[in-house]
Structure 1
């Protein structure tokens, strides 16, 4: 029997099961899908107590989730509905039995008959197709299956679209009616074909979205918008299970060079490229031209022109249209949940999105000041829209990068956790924030928390590369070199041009005492992107460990050059000088970095003193690293540079402090 779609009303809150949305005082707010399902299920069955086991079965469909996950969702539901764990006026906990919805719900309101009439009139142009629709669907079914990677999609003529969202937005022109007819027809087809055969990820269409270009007299003004449009398009396309789209870090590796020959040389397995141009029209609107081409043949598969209004409030609708058009052009089928996810708008406040866009652009610059600037911009976006989940996540990620690169982790880590908690309050099942938080836990040696969070993230979403990077660093810390390789290979496959994976991947292999694998991985990454300073710097360390001092010095000098003299890279250059016996140059660099008064992981400074045979000074810096909760200490158990210290009591004390002594390591290895 078809379920009747209703709207449940609690004073000023509407739970609309037809649109899968929650409205407060008529304004739609973002609700994570699983949280919506939980609330709807509790309300629907409010006449009885619902056990935890029933919720696991009916809401999570029997998936293995923890009691903590359910409790977090209940807390989030209470907060959304104006309730809390103390008063329990809406959702009551029945000890040892479960939960019951006790809030005052008005009688369910069936969807307005007038809406059905309006929808019928909207679809009236399709009535003449009613007789031919079944045959049409039958004819289209084989064509809607995702293509294998051998040939481009066969399209008789170049597919073209032109959509315009005007400032008025309500004038139904002839082209608008044609667009509505097309959308309705696609909806009819997709509603019939709402399932798809399971596919191996290797056979899915493989898409690269390259950063959109800017055509303007003031490109710097529009570049943040173009970059964020690219990121959000990638996020939308990655919601489609029948399509494999590379994540933003790999995509943005092509920002300076989008030539197709270069892309083919770097990513030979990619099937299609989505490219575009953002330009400013005379009336102040933003024009977007996008196209998909088959990479091997250069054949144009689809193109479209779009117009975004002055205040950019229509940008989310445009992104949805482009993502849907791309999936259609590649003959990729969308299931219902994916269509709902694509229709989701991250924020209803255009000003908040502009601040968020500027923040992401600042974060992408990856300097100390730009990361600080990004955090300020994300905070301002959150003030305008306290429900803006993406802004909370971006802020937490910015703090994580700040913690691992520019400032003492002991000062920044609490802010990482606080921002992550804000995301989990809005979206308790967020795999992305759990991945980022798990990686942060590894960096501050919270091993059990890291293991738990990384596993929860991977179970929820096995396409997030940083989760596997977190596992690689975890396994490196405990000395499991085989699992380091496995996790790193998975991370690299998911995001092959991610600079964070390149940097930390080399260290994970090297600190897991697999120097040759680290050198090979470093050369691979440098070949893919010759402008990665951290790859050269890490390779410099690997080279002096294995005895090639000249090559080590050359790589360290290149790292300093590409980083424009950042202190961390100078410290590694000092190590290369010290390893080669050039004491004066090493000491000069140490003094130079000290005078800059910028945070550099004291652990790596300690290594310079060890190479200079000054063990006492080295342990003073190890102690500073411990006081700062420096991330480099995660490698202390297996760092091949510390083999001479294995029996030193001070070293053994450090192992205990970071949770990597012999007693602790047994529990970690058993995981």
Structure 2
């Protein structure tokens, strides 16, 4: 925790000096006794959540059996000092049957011990002082534990003025990362069990603007924090999808810790208004809700953000260089563009990329994301991250696009290669390139790219997820299971990963476990989306009528998409309801007249009907059209009746799949 000579908060016409235990209105000192003073400070420092009455009793009355009126009087004393009213509160809001919350403005202004000097203080005598390029510690051994390779560290004041906004963002990210790294390293010394501390979730920064149009900015900074922290070796960082499950929700950090299996929670808020940005971040122990560290409050005009270097450069930048931004490795706080407009376009692209499962749907979301990534590239032709985002968009459009996938695959490959030409260490680009190579049936290169992505960042859940998908295509199901479970560990509330775990179980023939997994998925608010998969598992168990019931219910909930019609047609076929199967087969044919439809699904239905020649005819068309669903040939049980034919083995070989 950062130790300061004194910490002061400013709120409305009031200020509070914690070190001197003084409350003032302007220059006038306001009398407030010790216990109400402490409670006020605690509420202010926990202003992002409701503080329960039970928590306050435990902290300030040591859990003693005291009357509720005691706390009520304490809060009343605070309100009296602040001229606040319970019926129309400015500062302290009462949440009936819950507790209290500080709702007023709050700016923190820490005083420094000396210009250019930042001091970190831990218990048991450990102390780190960083001044210019000098790093001191009580003992050389402790220094080695806390800041590895400090001899190679270089403090810098050479930020480009063109990169003002990005320098600011990097400073915030670096500050959070520094404190976390120090905290975790200290934990590793034995004071706190490593297994309990080396894990974190970064919650979505709260957008305090009240303007939904600014969500992209707060979400983008959150994602940057997740990405940077995931680079810390040995630290488990929960991935974006699970973290964003808690967006706009008031959940106690202790509950979040239990649900995600993490020891620490990073949370905060961001306000972007015109040319000003305000950021506050804090690190919370998920075990007991204790605040480990609170950042300074930064509120500066963007056009003057370079001047903030004088305020945070000697401290945060020095730590950033010593711990995170080593010049030799370029491992952390890397800036991919110096163009502020390009950066904001990139953040908007990411915002829409992650909106695929929102109301606007995947096609529109990916279209908008692609447009913003292309805008970012137009503003900065050397922006590797924007090329990587563009590659990811094209790779996703392979599944959702209205036309044959060849063009989208080629575009994904080109954008990914361009990103890697600029920066070969970009994990997102390696994952996108692995997808493109896999879709092009260049499986050797696809595996190389998957392994390269994981080597760069073992904690990047999408890399684990993509490699698991590749391994399913190859029929290496035990390896696929290990990777998808690792992805789930990193992103435990990600519905797509949870669904794909169920799919791997299904392809491995573990149908009861698959059904159980998809039932869990429904409990995770995926709704009836999982009914299709449950129905597929029932088919393999020979429970045809139950499977048909599930598939029919799924169609009612999710609509008559081509995939759902084909799945129900196959179920009718293997269940002996051939007339129903043919009726749906005709419907599939009509659908194919107005839009691109994967031919492999026709092959499934014909195989279910026992019409082998027509099934192989559709498999050949799928091969010619480069239907990416053909990648499931080796693994999908619906083609089981065809696998003994030499033609099937020949097609496997031409597709590059192992026999």
TM-score, with length taken from structure 2: 0.63
Contact residue 285 and residue 310 of structure 1 kept, 8 A: yes
Match of 1:272 in 2: 264
The Cα offsets for residues 399-440 of structure 1, whole Å up to 9 and x where unpaired, read as 111113435332211111101110111012334322332244
Match of 1:251 among 222, 237, 243: 243
Alignment partners' CA distance in 2, 1:200 and 1:531? 35
Match of residue 460, structure 1, among 441, 456, 462: 456
Alignment match, 2:207: 214
Q: What is the match of residue 348 of structure 1?
A: 338
Return the alpha-carbon distance in structure 2 between the equivalents of residues 132 and 506 of structure 1. Answer: 50
1:361 is matched with: 351
From the superposition, tell whether residues 200 and 303 of structure 1 become closer, same or farther in structure 2 (CA, over 3 Å): closer
Match of 2:359 in 1: none
Instruction: Encode CA deviations 1:229-265: one digit per residue, 9 max, x unaligned.
Output: 2111211222333643222233233336562476355
SS of the counterpart of 1:298?
Answer: coil
Asked whether 1:618 is paired with 2:611, we answer: no
Cα deviation, residue 511, structure 1: 2.9
Q: How many residues align?
A: 499
Q: Within 2, Cα distance between the matches of 1:390 and 1:590?
A: 44
Aligned to 1:93: none
Aligned to 2:256: 263
Structure 2 counterparts to residues 599-610 of structure 1, below 5 A = 599-610=596-607
Question: Secondary structure of the equivalent of 2:525?
Answer: coil
Verify: 1:229 aligned to 2:221, yes or no.
Answer: yes
Please give the alpha-carbon distance, in whole angstroms, between the structure 1 residues aligned to 2:451 and 2:163.
Answer: 45
Counterpart contact for 1:442–1:470, Cα < 8 Å: no
CA distance, structure 1, for counterparts of residue 268 and residue 549 of structure 2 = 39
Could you tell me which of 440, 444, 465 is aligned with 1:448?
444
548-557 or 536-545, larger mean C-alpha shift:
548-557
The CA distance in 2 between the partners of 1:412 and 1:262, in whole Å, is 42
| Whole-angstrom distance in 2 between the partners of 1:584 and 1:244 | 53
C-alpha change, 1:548 and 1:210, in structure 2 (3 Å) is farther
**In the superposition, relative to structure 1, how do residues 657 and 376 fare at CA in structure 2: closer, same or farther (>3 Å)?**
same
Change (3 A) 1:519 1:202: farther
Task: State yes or no: 1:651 paired with 2:648.
Answer: yes
Residue 484 of structure 2 is matched in structure 1 by 488
Measure, in 2, the Cα distance between the counterparts of 1:601 and 1:216. Answer: 45
Indicate how the Cα distance of structure 1 residues 263 and 568 shifts in structure 2: closer, same or farther if over 3 A, else same: farther
> 2: distance between equivalents of 1:368 and 1:482?
33
Question: How far apart, CA to CA, are the structure 1 residues paired with 2:328 and 2:265?
Answer: 21
Q: Which secondary structure does the structure 2 equivalent of 1:452 belong to? A: helix
User: Is the 2:216–2:348 Cα contact (8 Å) retained in structure 1?
Assistant: yes
Q: Does 1:627 align with 2:618?
A: no
2:163–2:338 CA contact under 8 A, matched in 1: no
Q: 1:547 offset after TM fit, Å? A: 2.4
What corresponds to 2:422 in structure 1?
426
Residue 383 of structure 1, CA deviation: 1.0
Give the gaps of 5 or more residues in structure 2. 1-111, 120-127, 147-160, 357-361
Cα distance change, pair 568–254 in 1 and its aligned pair in 2 (3 A): farther
Which of 362, 370, 377 is residue 365 of structure 2 equivalent to? 370
TM-score after normalising by structure 1: 0.62
The separation in 2 between residues aligned to 1:132 and 1:288, in whole angstroms, is 24
Aligned-residue CA RMSD (Å): 4.9
Out of 541, 550, 559, the position equivalent to 1:546 is 541
The alpha-carbon distance between structure 1 residues 513 and 308, as it changes in their structure 2 partners (threshold 3 A), is: farther
Match of 2:656, SS state, is coil
**Structure 1 stretches lacking a partner, 5+ long:** 1-121, 147-166, 171-175, 663-671
